[in-house]
Structure 1
Amino acid sequence: MEDVRLIVDIVIALGAAAIGGLVAQRLGLPALIGYILAGLAIGPNTPGLVADVDRVQLLANLGVALLMFGLGVEFSLSEVLRVRRAALLGGAIQIPLMILLGTAAGLAGGWTLGAALLLGGAFAISSSIVALKTLLGRGEMESPQARVALGLGIVQDFSLAPMLALVPVIAGERGGAFGIAQSLLISAGVLIAAFVLGTRFVPPLLRIVARSGSRELFMLVIVAIALGVALATHAAGLSLGLGAFLAGIVVSESDFEEQVLADIIPIRDIFATLFFVAVGMLIDPALLLAQWPLVLGLAFVLVAGKLLITGGALLAAGVDHRTATLAAVFMAQMGEFSFVLASAGLEHGLIEITEYGTILSVALCSILAMPLLVAISPRLVSIAERLPGVARQERLAAGPPPPPAPAGGHVVICGFGRVGAEIGAALDRWHQPYSVIELNPAIVRDLRARGIEALYGDAATRVELETAGVPTARTVAVTTPDLLVTEAVIRNARALNPAIHVIVRAPGTGDVRGLTAEGADEIVQPEFEAGLEFVRQVLGWQGIDAAETEELLDARRQTVYGTA
């Protein structure tokens, strides 16, 4: 009967998670909130259907291991290097300051020093999943704030490994400075061993398994590596999660990273769901209701602290005020890996179950605050722009003053990334005058060195558009994927020059109607246009008449854009 009871618990947990996740997504919330609330509903602290916490927790440990393994496999040094100054310097400032803030908040709330330090560690880590889901929903994945937030998120996630290594030390299982040094030396030794395994032994093994052509065998070997390395590090006194993370780094050294992720993600997601359900099962609503002032107070400190500290750290790292503020907004919550850290603290006796529940509740409050923060983000950007020294620092970063604006009839390009650079190259070929508004100081300096009027600033502001010559320009091209900026440019450009021709980029096809209503003359949706080009190429190779193909493409554009 015990075996059957385990199956019953799994069915209850997964069924509740499916319902909770579906309801959360219908409400526009992250699915993990639904999973945690589902665990609360089937936990021992609420009436109704109850699953066994210990049995679900046993399976949830696999979820932690597979989550950390996936993090190790996905760890992208190249993504960090793309925004290395913002991610590395910003992270080096933000993570310690958030740990200090969380520790101070915990001590003020009457927690022990060890518990407060764990709270500080949880404060330091944001939810990359929530941030990416929000960015995807807003069509901003190609924006500067997305790149900075992603890079900073990777650095934060990576910081979890040493935090997990130090949990037993802080809990008193290894004493004093010697214990800290011992843990760090063990972690370094295991990391070096993992690197040696990754470069010398694992890739040949995976190649041998891959040649067998058996996907099942390949998956078995991957899971065995993940759990085997996790158990080895656990035997060395480190956590299972840290070991699984190192196993992921081992596998990422092979040529099969993408295949590993494709095979492991379905299993990982199932067991990770059980982890979030188990997290919810440990929450006691009665205790939390009794501590609601503490929960709300800590949530406010967390969100406000992350906005100020993350934004300030990115500004100190040389990021412009708009990108820094928006990246801080998207990272202003506690993440899923904070739950992993809290679970490790509970396991080692560093925190009590009440404090564990408080950390989870603070995390939920911070995630629920995301829609409000996004809604007020334009106002936060405006506040950041007026901070002392920000405007001067950004002017200095942009280099010498720009050349004079073109006399008239020119093009104003808002955003000089890949799309804007293509427009500029075409205009250069035909010797057409143009000016540029850009937030990347390096790009601005390069353009000014070439004699092009390039302004460092936010294209959404009327003063920047006026300085760029919009009142006398013939065309304004808005290449940014940021919908709010695009709408502001349309309104301000029309106010400055009602006759100007406005060409904009739409983040998604669903944004076309709104941009047309704002006053855009031409709209380009990159993914839709890429799809049409694929259609043209495929039909051409299939021998379809070119004129008929163009007729089809025109009809599709008419449907999406409302114009041929």
Structure 2
Amino acid sequence: MKVAEQELLIVLVGVLITALVGGFIARALRLPVILGYIVGGMVVGPFGFNLITHTAQIETMAQIGVALLLFTLGMQFSLKKLKEVGRVAVIGGCIQILLTMGLGVLIGYALGWQGVKDQIFFGFLIALSSTMIVLKLLLDRGELDTAHGRVMVGILLIQDLAVVPMMALVPAFGQSGLAWAVGKAVLITVIFLGAMFVIGLWVLPWAMRRVAAVRSRELFLLAIICFCLAVAFATYKSGISLALGAFVAGVLISESDYAYQAIAEVVPLRDIFATLFFVSLGMLINLDFLADHIALVVAVVIAIIAGKFIISGFVPRLFGYSPKTMLYTGAGLFQIGEFSFVLAYAAWNAGVISQDVYDLTLSCAVVTILLTPLGMSATSVLYRRLSQGRRFARILASRTDPQFDREFQLANHVVICGFGRVGRNLGKVLERRGFSYLAVDNDPMVIDNLRSRGVPCIYGDASNPEILSRAVLSKAKVLVVTFHEAIGTELAVRNALKINPKLDIVARIHSDDEREALHDLGVNELVRPEFEASLEIMRHTLHRFGLTSTEIQYIITSLREEGLD
């Protein structure tokens, strides 16, 4: 084996081991694995312990990871999904990106950067938040299906799509004569998209059918990868972004009958090459710059967090969402995201941004990502304390809903806190049986729909005592709490029992800690969706073995009484 080949093998093995160790440590600390990859690269790279020095080959392979990241993003894109996220995501997401870009330009101007390109691209970089990190936090906290969870996911989707035109502008910004370069890039892009439309309409379906007819997973994967890299290389040689070509290739595949199979085959390969990218990125982070400019990094981090918190919180408020959604969205989106690393590397490699701007961006990105879990937790504590104070709770409630002082003439009704999928299904059954109910939700679109149907409802956070005081709990038959989040459920139950200590309550829970806390409050009807699903699966399985319905019901009742998990 030649020396060069040995060096490549050693570097590749070293990078993968670094990623493995860094990923395990990040998991143990309940942090995103991407952060483990980046920090691992910082430790073993030239600015750390200098254990890995020959990084040129790894950086080349890392570019394949970038192409595959954008390729899978294209395969997962759909106009239907874009329509589902609604105006707050599409329009609000665009507003957030533009305002945050302006923030980046202002920061660059305040720091005395002379290059307009540095200022504009710094705005691009800080406008993007981390989809991976935010989704993980929302899942861990059980808030993915909340109002602020849906808003954040929608805005993140628009941000991910915005990466494509930003990447497409990198080659143009790297040339002299910016206006002419951008115009030329737009013209080439239009021609390229036209050619891709023709290929996607006539050539690709025919080729995919031929490949699929062979019934070989290896050849299918090879064909998909070849198509992705060929289109990406074609755009690169045409003077526009490699990422744009990869994204468009993914969109074309997504419209075929083989999209799901393609995603399943490509994702493992994408993850390996993306790992190389994030580790190699960590190797490029200049720790000397961070140490020498610690005051600058701290000041810029504060400006980014404060600015993005205000801007990201302003967007849902602009569309009528509650103060809670505003606070949580601002706290969840203040970090710089993983696609900013991709964009920063491309811009630095093309000479669009200077080394100092590149180092500053990466340093700020790592710090803001580390602070995101703390920011979300601090926001939860802050909102909990503010919303439970009588004066502030009333201010929040009255400013959230213009009809806050409306009186409901209800008795023997059901109060449903959280009108998501579970709440909607319950509402349908109650309507069919002629039972009255009142819904409480902090999603304005849900409330608008209920009011258009004449259903009694209150817009706001059901854990707010002032909101619950308007739900006529003193005359209610039962309170149903369908929240995903444990804190909101406990607060709603506590405040409801203060109003009516004898109120029957049915609550949705997700853990043993929730069960114990609510049981201590006197709530006996606790529903754990995962547990109930397991019982239903048992029912169908035992039925296949010939057990009677009575026997099966006895087993399930016994298990439910035991609380088997």
Same fold (TM over 0.5): yes
Aligned to 1:549: 552
Range 423-432 or range 344-353, more displaced = 423-432
Give the distance between the partners of 1:223 and 1:524, measured in 2 at CA: 46
Q: Among 457, 474, 479, which residue is 2:477 paired with?
A: 474
Q: What secondary structure does 1:341 align onto?
A: helix
Change (3 A) 1:114 1:205: same
Q: Which amino acid in the other structure matches residue 152 of structure 2?
A: A
Whole-Å separation in 1 of the counterparts to 2:335 and 2:490: 27
**Contact 1:402/1:454 (8 A) holds in 2:** no
Q: How does 1:66-77 map to 2 (within 5 A)?
A: 66-77=68-79
Query: Structure 1 498/312 Cα, relative in aligned 2: closer, same or farther at 3 Å?
Result: same
Partner residue of 1:190?
A: 192
Residue correspondence of structure 1 range 285-324 to structure 2 within 5 A: 285-324=287-326
2 CA distance for matches of 1:167 and 1:390? 44
Q: Return the offset for 1:44.
A: 1.3
User: Does the aligned pair in 2 maintain the 1:233–1:242 contact within 8 Å?
Assistant: yes
C-alpha distance after superposition, 1:42-83 (max 9, x if no partner): 111222522412121111111111111111111233232112
1:508 deviates by 4.9
Q: In structure 1, list runs of 5 or more residues that go unmatched.
A: none
Q: Deviations 1:426-476 (Å, cap 9, x if unpaired)?
A: 223333332221223343344345443211111011111111012332311
Aligned partner of 1:463 in structure 2 is 466
Gap change, CA 1:69 and 1:478, over 3 Å in 2: same
> Which secondary structure state, in structure 2, belongs to the residue aligned with residue 413 of structure 1?
strand
Name 2:281's counterpart in structure 1. Answer: 279
Q: Which residue of 2 aligns with 1:404?
A: 408
Structure 2: distance between partners of 1:469 and 1:120: 49
Aligned residues: 558
Other structure's SS at 1:237 match: coil
1:356 and 1:559 mapped to 2: Cα distance?
58
Contact kept? 1:30, 1:130, Cα under 8 Å: yes
Whether the 8 Å contact between 2:442 and 2:460 is mirrored in structure 1 is: yes
Structure 2: how far apart are the matches of 1:470 and 1:376? 31
For 1:64-463, list aligned pairs within 5 A: 64-111=66-113, 112-171=115-174, 173-378=175-380, 394-395=400-401, 404-407=408-411, 409-463=412-466
Give identity over the alignment, percent: 37
TM-score, normalization by structure 1: 0.93
Could you tell me whether the CA contact under 8 Å between 1:339 and 1:360 is conserved in 2?
yes
Q: Secondary structure at the match of 1:499?
A: coil
The answer on whether the counterparts of 2:138 and 2:149 sit within 8 Å (CA) in structure 1 is: yes
Which residue identity does 1:430 align to in structure 2?
A: R
* Residue 381 of structure 1, CA deviation: 5.1
In the TM superposition, what whole-angstrom CA distance separates every residue of 1:203-223 from its partner, at most 9, and x where no partner exists?
A: 332222122110000000010
**Amino acid paired to 1:345:** A
Contact 1:126 1:335 in 2 (8 A): yes
1:9 to 8, 11, 15: 11
Aligned to 1:501: 504
Distance in 1, matches of 2:561 and 2:363, equals 49
Aligned residue for 1:376, secondary structure, equals helix
Q: CA deviation at 1:236?
A: 1.0
Question: Match for residue 27 of structure 1?
Answer: 29
Report deviation, 1:423. 1.7
224-233 or 418-427, which moves further after superposition?
Answer: 418-427
Q: Deviations over 1:155-214 (max 9, x none)?
A: 10111111112223333x151322222222322332333333223322332222122110
- Cα deviation, residue 494, structure 1: 1.5
Corresponding residue for residue 535 of structure 1: 538
- Residue 348 of structure 1 deviates from its aligned partner by 0.9
Return the alpha-carbon distance in structure 2 between the equivalents of residues 540 and 174 of structure 1.
Answer: 74
Partner of 1:62: 64
Kindly indicate whether the alpha-carbon contact (under 8 Å) linking 1:161 and 1:245 is maintained by their aligned counterparts in 2. yes
1:492 aligned residue: 495
- Alpha-carbon contact 1:509-1:560 (below 8 Å) kept: no
Root-mean-square deviation over aligned CA pairs: 2.5
Q: Does the C-alpha gap of structure 1 residues 269 and 450 become closer, same or farther in structure 2, counting only changes over 3 Å?
A: closer
- The alpha-carbon distance between structure 1 residues 365 and 386, as it changes in their structure 2 partners (threshold 3 A), is farther
User: For residue 49 of structure 2, what is the amino acid of its counterpart?
Assistant: P
In structure 1, distance between residues paired with 2:512 and 2:226: 44
Q: Tell me if the contact between 1:38 and 1:277 (Cα under 8 Å) persists in the aligned partners.
A: yes
Partner SS state of residue 211, structure 2:
helix
Shift of 1:3: 1.0
5+ unaligned residues in a row in structure 2: which ranges? none
Q: Taking structure 1 as reference, are residues 246 and 411 closer, same or farther at Cα in structure 2, changes over 3 Å only?
A: same
Range moving further from structure 2, 228-237 or 83-92: 83-92
> In structure 2, how many angstroms separate the alpha carbons of the residues matched to 1:555 and 1:115?
67
Contact 1:64/1:275 (8 A) holds in 2 = yes
Q: Which moved more, 1:145-154 or 1:4-13?
A: 145-154
